[in-house]
Amino acid sequence: MCADDDSRLSVWYTGRTGNMAEYEPKKEGKIMGIEKTETYTQTRELPLNCPACSAAGTTIIYEKIDGTTQMRDRILTDSNLFMYECPHCGERVRIEAPCIYVDEKRKIAVWNMPDPKFEFTEQALAEKIGNWDISDYTCRITRSWGELREKIIELESSVDDRICEVIKSGAYSLIKAEDRKVLPLESYHIDYCTQEGDSRAIGLVFMRSDMGGQAYVYPLTDRVIQVTDDIFRPLLDGLDLYNRRGEFFRFTYETAHNFVMQTTEAAQEQNKKYEELISLWVKTLAKELYHVDL
């Protein structure tokens, strides 16, 4: 899933489960920030021309971000962090640039790389972080700042980010085709369910394309998480491609969707018991998230 939608970068949600919620701006500042005097955050000045008026200008881009400093909080709360505003015409432009985010406290590393053709080699990693040992880190790849923000929220939560994406895939598959026209996949994402940014309370957010600034919010319940984890984690853990510590790979909505489809097809052909478990999972999603009995 491409998580490029501007609206997800500085918002929180109000309202009860599944109700329409008004977008309200987050107050900038700490969520769970850790202050420290030393940091490996690295920036550089980027010359550019405004796409609207062609005037020359400069902006600061981030090449490395220390996730144990207030930079983490800025990624989660400051919608202007990766924006350039032309001083001549006022045009605002999002600057997508390569950056590696490393949180040594939580052992998380996320490499934001907009270029889908970029090769994630050991040499490329060494150029980014030197001799830093990340062999026991959870490492992921994202394509945009919005996707990076979402991945940080997932990785900091108590839910495996792969399970988060599997839940997203299953939940969206239950949305009627007519409703998908106003609940586009492009702006569907996981976010905090509280203004305080409590990592224990995350949920699915369906932005309405026909009603600016409004969304449906469905918190992930313990049962949804547990049933999904019980059924799919053993399979995920058995796939070396999606179970490597210290190696960067991308696990998105599309990854989860393909994984669930392949698992379902295999179960229908070979394993009646597993087919029943997947049916139980779908019914659990419908009941717990949408309060519908299938």
The C-alpha atoms of residue 130 and residue 108 are separated, in whole angstroms, by 16
Domain boundaries, the chain: 39-156, 161-293
Can you give the pTM of this predicted structure?
0.84
Q: How many CA atoms lie within 13 A of 191 on its CB side?
A: 29
Query: What string of pLDDT tens digits covers the 294 residues of the chain?
Result: 233 333 322 222 223 334 333 333 333 333 333 344 456 899 999 999 999 999 999 999 999 999 999 999 999 999 889 999 999 999 999 999 999 999 999 999 999 999 999 988 888 888 888 878 899 999 999 999 999 999 999 999 999 999 999 999 999 999 999 999 999 999 999 999 988 788 889 999 999 998 877 899 999 999 999 999 999 999 999 998 888 899 999 999 999 999 999 999 998 888 788 899 999 999 999 999 999 998
What's the pLDDT tens digit per position in 5-21? 333 222 222 233 343 33
What's the pLDDT tens digit per position in 201-242? 999 999 999 887 789 999 999 999 999 999 999 999 999 888
* Predicted local distance difference test score (pLDDT) of residue 157: 95
7-11, long-range: CB < 8 A, 24+ apart: 7/187, 7/207, 7/213, 8/146, 8/149, 8/150, 8/187, 8/189, 8/191, 8/205, 8/207, 9/78, 9/79, 9/145, 9/146, 9/149, 10/77, 10/78, 10/79, 11/191
* Predicted local distance difference test score (pLDDT) of residue 1: 29
Terminal C-alpha separation, the chain: 27
